[in-house]
């Protein structure tokens, strides 16, 4: 009986055809023309805001490039990744949505899938490096002060090599890039997991090394930061104003960290859930109209990352400068007394 069951499973895998092989034209849109137009306008707005926001971050950072600290260098790299997604990837999908079909063929599909995965993986690994940097500087101060600019550049080289490796692996014959079920965008071929054991191994490797492991590091780092700040609340309560103000700044940094985690989870987890279900659930069980929403949500991550990393950081700096001014006023008042 076991042998018959295994033969049946093997035959069902061999007979499975992904959505892009079931129809003659895999690049025809499966959405209504009105839905494609709405999605096209949405991506246009996201693309413009993302390009302006990340371009502004890079421009302002270039003015003080010799003074950038390691954490700021990582932030600039995140902006480069997000700008790459906006400039290289979004025009393809915007044109295709307005055209009511993918118009760039298989070659363009594979290029778009590679570029999206390359910059997306680079963005996630950069966020992981930022979380580790903040974890070391808050929870292990001796290690945090050891980190210098040249360590940040070494980290950048590792990030780009990591993203290049995993984005190029599908071209080595163990994976592929394929059109989305709705036809006007391309992504990793998650549906290979339905066809063979090798496809399942490929998808599981991508999920672990490019999603689960980095996410676990990010969550671990920020949870440790939150616990550290909470544990230091009672310790600084009876100290002087300078230490109390420093603690307030740490609390603001913790809020920034929580926003970073929330932004990442909101943008990418729904897409990851749909992708995993497409890979290991019942074949073609995800409705086409439902699959497009997580994809569009994930594409918005490049827009609000500049807000999280720059606007809030500017407020953080303003609060810090305000606290310093308060301390100066108090010190001058004490001297006059």
Q: Does 18 reside within a domain?
A: no
CATH number of the domain at 193, please.
Answer: 1.20.1070.10
Higher pLDDT, 309 or 164: 164
92 assigned to some structural domain: yes
- How far is Cα 272 from Cα 277, in angstroms, rounded to an integer? 8
pLDDT at 230: 73
Count other Cβ atoms within 10 Å, centred on residue 206. Answer: 22
| 157 alpha-carbon distance from chain centroid | 18
Give the integer Cα–Cα distance in Å for 251 and 165: 37
Transcribe 45-96 into DSSP letters: HHHHHHHHHHHHHHHHHHTTGGG--HHHHHHHHHHHHHHHIIIIIHHHHHHH
State the number of CA atoms in the 13 A half-sphere of 298 facing the CB.
24
Range of the domain at 245: 33-232+239-313
User: Alpha-carbon distance 205 to 86, whole Å?
Assistant: 26
Contact 260, 127 (CB under 8 A): yes
- Give the pLDDT confidence score for residue 4 in this predicted structure: 39
Domain presence at residue 4: no
Is residue 332 in some structural domain? no
Helix (H) or strand (E) holding 188: strand 186-188
The pair of structure tokens assigned to 30 is 């499966």
CA angle 88, 94, 99 (to 5 degrees): 130
What pLDDT does residue 110 have? Answer: 94
pLDDT tens per residue across span 145-195: 667 788 889 999 999 999 999 999 999 888 899 999 899 999 999 988 888
User: How many C-beta atoms surround the C-beta of residue 209 within 10 A?
Assistant: 16
* Residue 227 belongs to some domain of the structure: yes
pLDDT in tens, 203-257: 999 999 999 999 999 889 888 888 887 776 555 555 556 555 655 655 666 666 6
Q: What digits encode the pLDDT tens for the residues 262-294?
A: 777 788 888 988 888 888 887 677 788 888 999
pLDDT value for 74: 84
pLDDT at 115: 94
With cut-offs at 50, 70 and 90, classify the pLDDT of residue 139.
confident
Domain count within the chain: 1
Is 20 a domain residue?
no
Q: Where are the alpha helices (DSSP H) in 100-196?
A: 105-139, 141-146, 149-168
pLDDT in tens, 49-105: 999 988 988 898 888 888 887 877 888 898 899 899 899 889 999 999 999 999 999
Q: Whose structure tokens read 């490039």? A: 65
pLDDT of residue 166: 96
Residue 267 lies in a domain: yes
For residue 8, being part of any structural domain is answered with no
pLDDT at 247: 56
pLDDT score recorded for residue 325: 45
């Amino acid at each position: 009986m076991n042998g018959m069951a295994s033969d049946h499973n093997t035959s069902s895998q061999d007979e499975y055809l992904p959505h892009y092989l079931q129809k003659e034209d895999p690049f025809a849109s499966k959405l209504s023309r009105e839905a494609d137009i709405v999605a096209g306008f949405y991506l246009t707005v996201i693309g413009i805001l993302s390009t302006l926001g990340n371009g502004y971050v890079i421009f302002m950072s270039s003015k003080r490039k010799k003074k950038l600290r390691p954490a700021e260098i990582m932030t600039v790299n995140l902006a480069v990744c997000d700008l790459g997604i906006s400039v290289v990837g979004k025009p393809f999908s915007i044109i295709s949505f307005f055209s009511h079909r993918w118009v760039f063929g298989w070659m363009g599909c594979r290029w778009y899938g590679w570029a999206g995965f390359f910059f997306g993986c680079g963005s996630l690994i950069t966020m992981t490096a930022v979380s580790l940097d903040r974890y070391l500087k808050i929870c292990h101060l001796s290690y945090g002060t050891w980190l210098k600019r040249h360590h940040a550049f070494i980290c950048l080289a590792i990030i780009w090599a990591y993203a290049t490796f995993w984005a190029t692996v599908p071209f080595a014959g163990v994976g592929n890039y394929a059109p989305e079920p709705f036809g006007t965008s391309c992504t990793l071929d998650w549906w290979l997991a339905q066809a063979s054991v090798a496809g399942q191994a490929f998808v599981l490797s991508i999920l672990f090394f490019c999603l689960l492991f980095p996410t676990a590091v990010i969550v671990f780092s920020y949870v440790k930061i939150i616990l550290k700040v909470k544990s230091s609340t009672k310790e600084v309560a009876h100290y002087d104003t300078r230490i109390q103000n420093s603690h307030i700044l740490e609390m603001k940094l913790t809020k920034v960290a929580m926003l970073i985690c929330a932004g990442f989870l909101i943008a990418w987890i729904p897409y990851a859930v749909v992708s995993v279900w497409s890979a290991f659930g019942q074949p073609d069980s995800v409705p086409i109209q439902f699959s497009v929403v997580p994809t569009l949500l994930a594409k918005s991550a490049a827009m609000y990352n500049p807000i999280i990393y720059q606007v809030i950081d500017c407020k953080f700096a303003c609060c810090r400068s305000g606290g310093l001014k308060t301390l100066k006023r108090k010190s001058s008042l004490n001297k006059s007394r």
